[in-house]
Structure 1
Amino acid sequence: MQDTLAYYNNNADAFVESTFEISMEELYQEFLPLIPEGGYILDAGCGSGRDALFFDKNGYRVSAFDGSEAIASLAREKTGLSVQHRYFSDIHESSTYDGIWACASLLHLPLVEVPDAIGRLWHALKPDGVFYMSFKIGTGERIHNGRHFTDADESIAERWVQDLTGLEACRMWRTDDRRPDRDDQWLNILLNKAPASPEKLTTGGKDHHFLPKLCQAIKAADRIDMAVAFVKTTGLNLLFPDLVGALQRESDPARIRILTSDYLDITDTGSLRKLVLLHDHGAQVRIYQSQGSSFHLKAYLFAGYVENQQMWGKAFIGSSNISRQALQDGLEWNYQVDFPPDSGYLEAASRFDELFQHPNVVPLTDNWIDEYEQRRKPPEQSVEPGSDEKQEVPTPNEVQQEALEALDLTRLEGYRRGLVVLATGLGKTWLSAFDAVQVGARRILFVAHREEILYQAAETYLRIKPNSRVGFYMGKQRDRTVDILCASVQTLGKETHLERFDPRHFDYIVVDEFHHAAAPVYHRLLSYFAPQFLLGLTATPDRTDRSDILSLCDDNLVFEYPLFEGVKGQFL
């Protein structure tokens, strides 16, 4: 090693000049995307400082060192950076750098010293960091032009890195030497360190949100139990997509149980209506009727199984109710209990089972919500973080506002049916909900041919009309006494089901994907009902039978805003 350092000290000028301008762009593209913006990079064995300078100019924080004192001095002059004179044996940092770059540097160490140097650098790398190093292709040690080289191939490199603690991924690939007078091949090695194991305590605030941990646990769990003093629509909206996703898994839907309360009348009715919608997806939702007593639980329990059927459990016990502030940026402490090894999870799960069967606990229904809405007197001032949150009512965008004006005008002209064409992404369902409010509709029917569209429509309508009863008419579900009915055309379109409704039962009917309306099942439904207004919606009306479809809406094309216009107007 001393001979190699002597070589570089004696030939520093020539070495720096011959390597400083070499383009390493392809390797940068492999390394830098894995470093966080403004991350801290160690250029270990930096040579001319070429790479350290590139990192610095691209906004990264950089430390650089080289074992040759002469080269370190020239690199300082060349780059203006504080390049240190250090050896690999001087590396004692711990979890300091987001990235470590050891390009063609470790190869000058004796073979016996390489694993220790890699270990030192690895220890200096932060969790979730990335470590790049390179060696010339070969299988041993050699002396060439007064320098010592340790060459490596993939099998040698694998032995060096296989025991690194927290190694999450290792990628190796070969490249040709970038210098025009060389025909060597290089082995490139890129190591990813696993993220740090999550802290037991989530403290909230801007940098330590509780929400990501909950969402991650929901996605991983087979059993999900939540018990909270209150639920706000603002918070439930944040969890709802992941909860629905867990219930709709094709292979193994999750079992979800949610328990909240009427304590202090803080839980808003909009969130309760949405919990009923979650019940329609398959969740069990119950209410603890406090009857003047307190109910201060904030507990989230998750469980699943690993490949050998060993059960795992995770509990979060703390201060967060289901509100936006409590889940996102409020200062809330929630402590994580993991089983195994901590049996505290099992105790919490057992207590939840008991509480779910408590005499004060009742199933959540639309009737219960109606009664609660009548007697509810929420506190005039906030009693806990997020307790006074209110979900902002969405408003129409410019295109939807134009369409609403056109719909209002068409009704003034005497039309009772109309077709609206909006490109996908412009919010057809939102438009229909806004228009239903505009006409003051009391009972609404939303018809589509796919369940996922019906579920999405139900969520949308609850955002616009949060105190409405929402139900479904599809599969085995046959809700009738609701304000908004989302119905499968395949089910409701059958005569035996149509006859269960008076033709004038619905004030306002929406038929989504109206380009399918030429089918007989649509004809039966459209011929049977006589609402105050029927709205057909489509994004793709250009069919050979377009005139037939339009005739089902009394030949009334109310409004059209196709894809090109959406892009041109920067709405898409």
Structure 2
Amino acid sequence: MSPKTMMAGVVHALYDSSIRSKTIDIELIENDPDQGKKVLTAVEEGLQTCNSFFMSVAFINQSGLTPLLLTLQELERKNIKGKVLTTNYLSFSEPKALDALEQLKNIEVRMADTSSNAPGFHTKGYVFFQKEWVRMMIGSSNITAGALTRNKEWNVQVKASSKGSLSQSVMDAFETMWNDRKTIPYGDIREEYVRQYEQKQQMQKKEEEERAWVQEAKKLQPNGMQQAFITRLRSLLEQGAHRALLISATGTGKTYASAFAMRELRFERVLFIVHRELIAQQAKESFARVFQNRTQFGL
């Protein structure tokens, strides 16, 4: 590409789109299903035509890496070198995806450690070198299936000389992060990162279960019989009674009635007695749903 040809592309992209150019050197890369556009296509094209590359992305998961693996394996066979910089920020990246990258002999993977009060890490940049030229795609796309194929993403792709100030600035910024003392080879930090990742997954699972409990509890409302029971029990208590008896047919919801009553009347301690362990376990689960799992239960 000659400087004149490149300048025509710059004029077309930044000054007047009606001025024709043989090349498009600056363009927006996005996912657009209606036009069959995917960010993934631009990444694949960059990999397939480069002599070397580097990527700096905050998040990498298996669903985003899998479509790129065949291309990356082909680069391994050709011994085309690459660097991938990611982070333990939010413990989001999947270890199995990082392991797959680490196994490629031509790729070096490093992880920026943000766990010790370091600033967050949220870069998304793909840089592909071809002789004296460089293709840079910088924007919003991580290596996830959604980011590369479906989500609303904006990335600006620039084709420029590797001697240009923009190219130099991007390369300098990457090298600064790559060589930072808090940037560690993934193999050295893997064990600790896997532990952090698994802890986060467990926390997320617990939070999801708690949200499910809350949603289910919101749906759980006393039926007519149960509401009448609560009203009558409250009246008896106000009259000074210490005992009450509910007689109702099997399957009408007596266990839930007792749980609703204990919740509505704010009893602090409850002893629920039945004649079989299985029924006690089922009752415990019913009480937990009604109380949104916010109190302690024992069997």
TM range (shorter): 0.5 to 0.7
Residues 182-210 of structure 1 deviation map (CA, whole Å, 9 limit, x = unaligned): xxxxxxxxxxxx8x737611122323211
Secondary structure of the corresponding residue to residue 290 of structure 1: coil
Pairs within 5 Å for 1:78-157: none
Do the aligned partners of 1:317 and 1:334 also contact (CA within 8 Å) in 2? yes
Specify which of 45, 54, 57 is matched with residue 225 of structure 1: 54
1:370 positional shift: 2.5
Aligned residues with identical type, % of pairs: 25
Pairs within 5 Å for 1:276-291: 276-278=102-104, 281-291=105-115
Counterpart in the other structure of 2:29: 202
Counterpart in the other structure of 1:350: 172
Do the aligned partners of 1:337 and 1:344 also contact (CA within 8 Å) in 2? no
Counterpart in the other structure of 2:156: 335
1:220 positional shift: 1.0
User: Structure 1-normalised TM-score?
Assistant: 0.30
Q: Which ranges of structure 1 fall in alignment gaps of 5 or more residues?
A: 1-164, 167-193, 306-310, 382-572
Moved beyond 6 Å, runs of 4+: none
Do the aligned partners of 2:134 and 2:160 also contact (CA within 8 Å) in 1? yes
Q: Which ranges of structure 2 fall in alignment gaps of 5 or more residues?
A: 1-19, 206-299
Secondary structure of the corresponding residue to residue 231 of structure 1: coil
1:342 positional shift: 5.3
Does residue 313 in structure 1 map to residue 134 in structure 2? yes
Structure with higher RCO (Cα < 8 A, 6+ apart): 2
Residues 510-529 of structure 1 deviation map (CA, whole Å, 9 limit, x = unaligned): xxxxxxxxxxxxxxxxxxxx
Pairs within 5 Å for 1:265-414: 265-278=91-104, 281-291=105-115, 292=117, 293-305=119-131, 311-340=132-161, 343-365=165-187, 368-376=189-197, 377-378=200-201, 380=204
Using the alignment, how far apart are the partners of 1:239 and 1:209 within structure 2?
Answer: 13
Do the aligned partners of 2:56 and 2:123 also contact (CA within 8 Å) in 1? yes
Give the number of the structure whose residues are more often helix, by fraction.
2
Using the alignment, how far apart are the partners of 1:257 and 1:374 within structure 2?
Answer: 24
Using the alignment, how far apart are the partners of 1:248 and 1:320 within structure 2?
Answer: 27
Residues 30-76 of structure 1 deviation map (CA, whole Å, 9 limit, x = unaligned): xxxxxxxxxxxxxxxxxxxxxxxxxxxxxxxxxxxxxxxxxxxxxxx
Instruction: Write the letter of the residue equivalent to 2:113.
Output: Q
Do the aligned partners of 1:303 and 1:313 also contact (CA within 8 Å) in 2? yes
Instruction: Write the letter of the residue equivalent to 2:110.
Output: R
CA RMSD across the alignment: 2.3
Instruction: Write the letter of the residue equivalent to 1:233.
Output: Q
Give the number of the structure whose residues are more often strand, by fraction.
1
Secondary structure of the corresponding residue to residue 248 of structure 1: helix
Do the aligned partners of 2:26 and 2:159 also contact (CA within 8 Å) in 1? no
Residues 157-176 of structure 1 deviation map (CA, whole Å, 9 limit, x = unaligned): xxxxxxxx98xxxxxxxxxx
| Structure having the higher Rg | 1
Do the aligned partners of 1:205 and 1:332 also contact (CA within 8 Å) in 2? no
Do the aligned partners of 1:338 and 1:345 also contact (CA within 8 Å) in 2? no
Using the alignment, how far apart are the partners of 2:165 and 2:67 within structure 1?
Answer: 30
Pairs within 5 Å for 1:421-500: none
User: Structure 2-normalised TM-score?
Assistant: 0.55
Between the two proteins, the alignment pairs up a number of residues equal to 178
Secondary structure of the corresponding residue to residue 103 of structure 2: helix
Instruction: Write the letter of the residue equivalent to 1:350.
Output: D
